[in-house]
């Protein structure tokens, strides 16, 4: 996996549909609070904002010339739209792509709800990134003679491909119809990602990896300028066979997580399988990334996760609760609190550098091998 020098050994886990949580919660507050607390932010694809907007916001908020952040993506059922979504992420200079794969039987109410487009997290606002995609709008116009955005930069691409005046495209704007199409195309992808590595299956691990790693634009609709691919990590793995399939696909890492344990309450806790997954994938490639989230509530929990084999740890609920109650100030304070607790716990355990993995073995748990 690509090596990045980062100042924080944990990150804000993807926090989608942030504006639906009430209180002071929203995507910008989470982002601003993470950055102000010297943390690492992960953009969520269920957002009011497009990837281009979020990338611009992050670069303005950060004091660093090339800030490190990540983007989490839910795949759609349309390969052309997936290509466009991933290429937009690359063109926005996002350092790392996270693709969520645990949206079948154990997420968002299961495949049945997804196929019927009845997921309660859906709202006009949370399709902001999808409706800002030119290929989505091209296909929406071809199917329903309407578009889902008024952004003239996006519509210029639609106009160019369809060979119709941009004024005609703009006048066709219909949020309701576009949203209905967004629900269909999103639902067809989220619950149907194949664990196979047959690249002929467009919704399979290998195909998505190939799109992410491609150094050139492969879209049939929009030609974009970027000079390199993007590292990709698949999120939502709690079994060794799935982890090994992810590794065989050519991905750069596996993200051990059970989607916050929200949908199948008796699923295996990610921490219980973390060491086994780490041992399995590291036998094949010592540089293959192993990430983790689940149940992190204190700095000591991050140490525990590292001792069990994690190389990067995500914070979920503590960040969400802080943002709901106190907005960006709450997120910043929580991030700083975790940094302080983590540093203190490391000193107690005699750990002075997270890159020295051998120091961590056997401190809290003993590996089986």
Show the 3-state SS of 232-258: EEEEEECCHHHHHHHHHCCCCEEEECC
- Mean per-residue pLDDT for 29-49? 95
Is residue 369's pLDDT more than 70? no
Structure tokens at 168: 């005609």
State yes or no: pLDDT of 115 exceeds 60.
no
Q: Where do the H-state alpha helices sit in the chain?
A: 27-36, 51-61, 79-91, 111-115, 128-131, 134-144, 152-162, 166-171, 175-190, 205-213, 240-248, 270-282, 299-307, 317-349
pLDDT at 2: 55
Query: By the 8 A CB rule, do 279 and 369 touch?
Result: yes
Q: In the predicted model, what is the mean pLDDT of the chain?
A: 87
Looking at the chain, the whole-number percentage of residues with pLDDT higher than 90 is 68
The pLDDT value given to residue 102: 76
Give residue-wise pLDDT tens across range 279-308.
999 999 999 999 999 999 999 999 999 989
Cα separations in angstroms, 113 against 15, 72, 130, 191, 359? 21, 21, 19, 9, 46
- Answer whether 114's CB lies under 8 Å from 137's CB: no
Distance CA 302, CA 359 (A): 15
β-pair type (96-100, 289-293): unpaired
Per-residue confidence (pLDDT) for residue 200, from 0 to 100 = 75
pLDDT at 278 over 90: yes
Structure tokens at 47: 């957002």
| Predicted pLDDT of residue 341 | 93
**pLDDT at position 113 over 50:** no
Q: Say how far apart CA 259 and CA 288 lie, in whole Å.
A: 21
More confident residue, 187 or 209: 209
Q: What is the pLDDT of residues 166-182, one digit of tens each?
A: 999 999 999 999 999 99
Only one residue has tokens 């119809």, namely 177
pTM above 0.75, yes or no: yes
What's the pLDDT at 16? 85
């Amino acid at each position: 996996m690509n090596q990045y020098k980062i100042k924080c050994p944990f990150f804000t886990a993807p926090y989608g549909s942030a504006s639906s949580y009430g209180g002071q919660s929203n995507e910008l507050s989470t982002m601003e609070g993470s950055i102000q607390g010297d943390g690492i932010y992960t953009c969520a694809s269920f957002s009011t904002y497009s990837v281009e907007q979020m990338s611009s916001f992050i670069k303005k908020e950060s004091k660093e010339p090339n800030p490190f952040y990540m983007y989490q993506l839910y795949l759609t059922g349309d390969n052309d739209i997936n290509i466009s979504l991933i290429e937009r992420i690359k063109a926005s200079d996002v350092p790392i792509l996270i693709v969520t794969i645990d949206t079948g039987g154990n997420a968002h109410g299961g495949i049945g709800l997804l196929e019927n487009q009845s997921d309660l997290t859906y709202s006009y606002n949370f399709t902001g990134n999808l409706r800002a995609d030119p290929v989505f709008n091209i296909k929406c116009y071809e199917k329903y003679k309407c578009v889902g955005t008024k952004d003239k930069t996006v519509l210029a691409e639609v106009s160019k491909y369809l060979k119709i005046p941009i004024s005609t495209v703009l006048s066709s704007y219909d949020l309701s119809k576009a949203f209905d199409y967004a629900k269909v195309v999103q639902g067809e992808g989220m619950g149907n990602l194949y664990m196979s590595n047959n690249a002929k299956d467009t919704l399979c691990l290998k195909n998505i990896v190939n799109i992410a790693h491609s150094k050139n634009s492969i879209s049939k609709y929009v030609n974009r300028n970027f000079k390199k691919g993007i590292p990709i990590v698949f999120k939502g793995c709690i079994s060794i066979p799935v982890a090994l399939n992810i590794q065989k696909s050519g991905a750069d890492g596996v993200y051990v997580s059970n989607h916050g344990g929200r949908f199948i309450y008796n699923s295996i806790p990610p921490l219980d399988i973390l060491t086994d997954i780490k041992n399995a994938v590291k036998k094949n490639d010592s540089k293959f990334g192993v990430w983790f989230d689940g149940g992190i509530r204190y700095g000591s929990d991050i140490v525990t996760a590292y001792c069990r084999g994690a190389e990067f740890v995500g914070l979920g609920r503590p960040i969400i609760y802080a943002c709901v109650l106190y907005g960006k100030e709450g997120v910043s304070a929580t991030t700083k609190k975790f940094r302080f607790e983590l540093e203190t716990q490391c000193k107690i355990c005699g750990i002075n550098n997270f890159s020295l993995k051998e120091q961590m073995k056997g401190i809290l748990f003993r590996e089986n091998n």
